[in-house]
Structure 1
Amino acid sequence: MIDQETSAAPARGKVSDRAAVLRAATQSTHEKLDTSIMAARPFDSISNYSKFLKVQHAFHRDVSPLYDAQVLQNLIPDLPNRARLAAVVQDATDLGITLPDYVTAPATAEDTGLPEALGWLYVVEGSNLGAAFLFRAALKLGLSATHGARHLAEAPEGRAKQWRDFRAALDAVQLTEAEQARAITGANVAFECVRSLVAEHLAGRPSDSETVTFPGVS
């Protein structure tokens, strides 16, 4: 279950730069993911991009329950509006892509703890900040914010403000040192999850690491 005692309210007083801590602690895992995605050349063709959409669909489907969790909405007020699963599904529909069926339902937010959930959200929201480069690549394929690349487009308020608002909310959550470590674990597991999905759907080969699925933590 999500740890209610650590989620009751944002911290008062000094605010930690939790996003910076997470970035430093996950740098190696993040770089491995970026390398695997670029090696698969997802924007070389619509065919490759279609495989990339399957990666995005699998990941955003797995994390979608976090955006509906009231305990997380209390900490990040605009959280429901940040979910991108519906946009990914619409992008696939635009391109006539059949998305895989899943036998099991996605995990719920209650299946993991609050610190781990924050680590996962850091990865998902950070990917939106970094999607500007991917969106420009999608435009070269003839895609747009209204056709095929909705989930990569920036929010009306802009990527920078959206990230600043999330970062401020993330930094304001009160966590112990042990819980901070759990948030780092959650973020690293999230990056590994995407890397295993890239190997499965985009690279067309088994992952060189163990398959990881959400939530991946206890």
Structure 2
Amino acid sequence: MNTQTSIPDPLSARLRAETNTTHERLDRSIMAAKPFDNLENYGRFLRVQHGLHHHVAPLYRSADLAAHFPGLNARGRLNDVAQDLLDLGMPVPEITTAPATETADLPEALGWLYVVEGSNLGAAFLLKYARKLGLSETHGARHLAEPPEGRAPYWRAVKSALDAIDLSPAHEARAIGGAEAAFATTRDLVRAHL
């Protein structure tokens, strides 16, 4: 008789597994729009980024999340994206809709945070493409800048914090739903702007 019980995957692994296909499709659709071929295309990419960071801005002001992710309030990138647009002489889009995460509960917020902070890993490649357009972490590509501690150490810290939060199966499903909502929102922004 086998009495071993399996240890459930940590939340970060579940989020990755459950959203991997959606994530890959989204990445392909963004790159198919050739956002780094010229500054005009890059400007459209910045509008996508501005919309996404508008939707996640409340996460960076959340006391609940800050309790689990020290220094989170300094990690928001909405102002950086706005400045990137201004650097290129492009207007900052006026957004009249409420941020999608404004009323998110903790599990949903964790899913959204997983997506937006995870995008910082891929930003290393995007920054290389942006540099070919003459952009940098101080002009036009601020939102792609590497965290002070480095991308990989920062991402490990985010995953560690996610995995340390004890969620019931129902709350874990809500976190996965939050990640799916983040990807769907980004997909809608890509369709609208790219």
TM-score (norm: length of structure 1): 0.83
1:189: how far off?
1.2
Q: Does 1:148 align with 2:140?
A: yes
From 19, 29, 35, the counterpart of 1:26: 19
Q: Residues of 2 paired with 1:71 and 1:16: CA distance?
A: 23
Matched to 2:170, the amino acid is: A
Query: Identity percentage over the alignment?
Result: 59
Q: Which residue of 2 aligns with 1:7?
A: none
CA deviation after TM superposition for structure 1 residue 20, in Å: 1.2
**SS state at 1:74 partner:** helix
- 1:112 lines up with 2:104 in the alignment: yes
Aligned to 1:121, what secondary structure does the other structure show? helix
Aligned length: 188
Kindly indicate whether the alpha-carbon contact (under 8 Å) linking 1:15 and 1:171 is maintained by their aligned counterparts in 2. Answer: no
Kindly provide the amino acid, as one letter, of the partner of residue 66 in structure 2.
Answer: Q
Q: Which residues of 2 match residues 1-218 of structure 1 at below 5 A?
A: 17-107=10-100, 109=102, 111-202=103-194
Q: Is the 8 A contact 1:60 1:85 kept in 2?
A: yes
Higher share in helix: 2
Question: Which segment is superposed worse, 56-65 or 100-109?
Answer: 100-109
- Is the CA contact 2:101–2:109 (under 8 Å) kept in the aligned structure 1? no
Runs of at least 4 residues off by over 3 Å: none
Question: How big is the shift at 1:103?
Answer: 2.1
- Tell me the distance in 1 between the aligned counterparts of 2:160 and 2:135: 32
Give the direction of change, closer, same or farther, for the CA distance of 1:39–1:150 in structure 2 (3 Å limit). Answer: same
* TM-score using structure 2 length: 0.93
Aligned counterparts of 2:18 and 2:59: Cα–Cα separation in 1: 22
Q: Deviations over 1:21-72 (max 9, x none)?
A: 1101001111111111011110000000000000000110111011101011
* Structure 1 unmatched runs, 5+: 1-13, 203-218
2:36–2:129 contact (8 Å) kept in structure 1: yes
